[in-house]
Amino acid sequence: MDEDMLRCVTEQGFAARTLPLPLYVRAHAEVLVPAADAGERLDLRAAGIPLLDVAVAADRRGALRQLVERAAVLRILRSGHGSLRDSLHDSDGDSRADARDGGPPAVGAGDSHDEAVARAIYQELACRRAESGIEKGTLITGRDQGDGPEGVALRGVDGRIDCYLLGETAGVPAVGAVLRLDRLERPLSAVVCDLWERRGVERAVQAVLREFVVTTLPRREDAERAPFPYGDFHDVVAVGETDFATLAPRPPRDETGELRDRLRLHGHRASVRVLGPADRTALVACRLKPTAKPEPSADSESGPARRPTTGTEDDWRPRDVVALGLRAPRQLSLTYERDDVRIGRVYHENSKMRTAYGTLPVVDIAEMSPPARRLLGQAYRDFGHARRQYPMRPAGQPRLLTLDQVVRRRRSWAAMGDGELTRAELAHLLTLSYGTTGAAVAGQDLRLPLRATPSAGGLYSSDLFVLVDRVSGVEPGLYYFHPGKRLLQLVDDERTLADVAEYTGYRERAGEAAAMVVYVGAFRRNQWKYRERGYRTVLLDCGHLAQSVVTTATSLGLVAHPMIAFVDDYFNAYVGVDGVEDAVLYLTLLGPRRTGDEAA
């Protein structure tokens, strides 16, 4: 479980956060940050968050597992690892020096002890590769970088990722990945060791993408280049080719046993210490120690494994913000807790269409009975017994701005005048936004009305209510716009615009308006057809309609200010809907443009 990996990070005194990647990077990235930066927050200063390390994998779990390992290394370095190094010697007291004894031990994390040990050994072997220079390798062909076996890649970019077999280190195959992009000063590369070469290809690609991500992050001008946790070289000289399909299709059955046998054959043995509880995520530290006398074996293709220059304990600094000099992109601090949006994410997942249109009920209008088909054309309410009704059939053609003028002139916060809207302006606005503009044939005996605004399935799941305050020829009150009869029908006249303005996020702005459009979503009107996806279509229908209102109002020379800041339950009760089957979704303030503000 991801939560086990995440808990393993936090128990070591750090925190993990997701790093947004460009869409052309097909991978998942997590960053290790100080515990103080664990909580997502709205930081209006947009302060950069210090990054202690970066992990890139095919999915979140893989990236978190890498962070568990990096967190353990940092914790060892910060606490002093002399005692740990000593404890990794064999029980016989053999303490012969090793070239990597001055550095931190390799750390592996896994779902089992054996998996963690294998990962730690692979990390240790990778660190024994050359840090720079020219490598010779066999190019791996037959890989599709878009959906290939490596699981992650770059798409739509000027460049490529090539993978190579680089011989063996202590009997374990080494796989290198080289990222070449036209706009990079030099190729980026990484080396991993893995008995299963196919998995090694995936890990090598992840490693080189991690290097690429690091190069894209903001860096202090005086910061040093980040130490790379994988063997790093400038380029590869290809000495042959091998097809990916020829690589072993599965890992060895006893991977840990096979690893130990190969290490012993090449004069090494693994000394391991458990760092984490075995009942959850296993976490181990590992050292490779030389045996008394290496058994004879064929040398690897790339020659004996070269080791990094021996350094003192002080030479190995933790890769914290001082060493990396990296900070997160600004938008990372403008985020939120996952639980804050969990329900929305669950809904979005459940409302997806799966594999084919057949995941929704099959609806054939031609096979519906005539009464059922007629219901499709009656997507409206009717307050027919209202004590006040006003026809909304505009006479003549209004003088409208051109589309170019509308687009350039539309401003939500344009200054409103204190005058009235005319009844003709309101009639034109409602008719051009949501009035009937034509008809469609449904079967052989029915013509369904079409409106000025698009709607999923022609089901018109939105209703328009208008709260009138200053409209000439119309008394103040809340009205329903009946699109079929083109009438304003009174719903309520006990509350004024000033009253309801108290329940919006912009009370003063709402108080300036001459009228307010209230959009109500009628979910049952289309969920019978679209099921869970119907909620999406209701919101889309509402957005289409609101844009039609805004565009039409602007073309009439009016100000239209869309508003989502309102108290839902108050407006639902005011309109008279339950907020579940039908709910207020959106508001738009309407008013005359202030004189002298025509060019605004």
Contacts of residue 576, defined as CB under 8 A and 6 or more positions apart, other chains included, come to 491, 492
In Å, what is the CA distance from 536 to each residue of 207, 532, 565?
Answer: 39, 8, 20
Q: How confident is the model at residue 76 (pLDDT cuts 50, 70, 90)?
A: confident
In the prediction, which pLDDT does 424 show?
A: 94
CA distance 535 to 529: 11
pLDDT(139) > 90 = yes
Residue 358 has pLDDT above 70, yes or no: no
pLDDT of residue 473: 94
Q: For residue 396, what are its two tokens?
A: 């003549």
Question: With b meaning 16 or more CB within 10 Å and e meaning fewer, what string describes 153-167?
Answer: bbeebeeebbbbbbb
CA pair distance 591, 416, nearest whole angstrom? 6
Of 101 and 298, more confident: 101
Question: Which pLDDT value is given to residue 102?
Answer: 53
Q: Of 26-30, 188-192, 288-292, 565-569, which has the strongest mean pLDDT? A: 565-569
Least confident of 132-146, 190-204, 259-273, 280-294: 132-146
Summary mean pLDDT of the chain: 82
**Average of per-residue pLDDT across 87-111:** 59
Contact 240, 140 (CB under 8 A): no
Which residues neighbour 182 within 8 Å (Cβ) at sequence distance 6 or greater?
158, 159
Distance, in Å, from the CA atom of 463 to the CA atom of 545, rounded to the nearest integer, reads 9
C-alpha distances (whole Å) from 80 to each of 84, 317, 521 are 8, 11, 62
Residue predicted with more confidence, 477 or 320: 477
pLDDT at 596 over 80: no
| DSSP, residue by residue, 90-115 | -TT------TTTTSPPEEEEESSHHH
pLDDT at residue 78 above 90?
A: no
pTM value?
0.71
Per-residue pLDDT, 514: 97
Residue in 496, 487, 489, 428 with CA at minimum distance from that of residue 467: 496
Tell me the percentage of the chain whose pLDDT exceeds 90. Answer: 45
Tell me: the pLDDT tens digits for 382-411? 898 888 999 998 878 888 999 999 999 999
* pLDDT in the model for residue 277: 63
Q: Using 50, 70 and 90 to split pLDDT, how confident is the model at 511? A: very high
Q: Which of 16-25, 196-205, 294-303, 502-511 has the lowest mean pLDDT?
A: 294-303
- Give yes or no for a contact between 157 and 229, defined as CB atoms under 8 angstroms apart: no
Has residue 226 got a pLDDT over 90? no
Q: Give the C-alpha separation, 496 to 477, whole Å.
A: 7
What is the pLDDT averaged over residues 512-523?
97
CB burial of residue 291 (10 Å; 0-12, 13-18, 19+): middle
Element (H, E) at 113: helix 113-127
- The 10s digit of each residue's pLDDT in 435-449 is 888 887 766 667 778
- 396: phi > 0 → left, psi -120 to 50 → alpha, else beta; which? left
**Of 193, 180, 177, whose CA–CA distance to 129 is shortest?**
193
CB 439 within 8 A of CB 425: no
CA angle 392, 569, 432 (to 5 degrees): 20
**Gap between the Cα atoms of 496 and 485, Å rounded:** 26
* Segment 447-488, tens digit of pLDDT: 778 888 999 988 899 999 999 999 999 999 999 999 988 999
List pLDDT tens digits, range 5-62. 888 998 888 999 888 888 888 899 999 988 888 876 666 666 677 888 899 999 999 9
Structure tokens at 522: 């009628």
Give the pLDDT confidence of 228-258 residue by residue, as tens digits. Answer: 555 556 678 889 999 999 999 888 889 999 9
Separation of CA 396 from chain center: 51
216 compared with 334, residue with greater pLDDT:
216
> 588 phi and psi, to 5 degrees?
-140, 125
* pLDDT of amino acid 515: 98
What are the tens digits of pLDDT across the range 290-307?
A: 876 555 544 444 443 333
- More confident: 371 or 101: 371
Residue percentage of the chain with pLDDT more than 70: 79
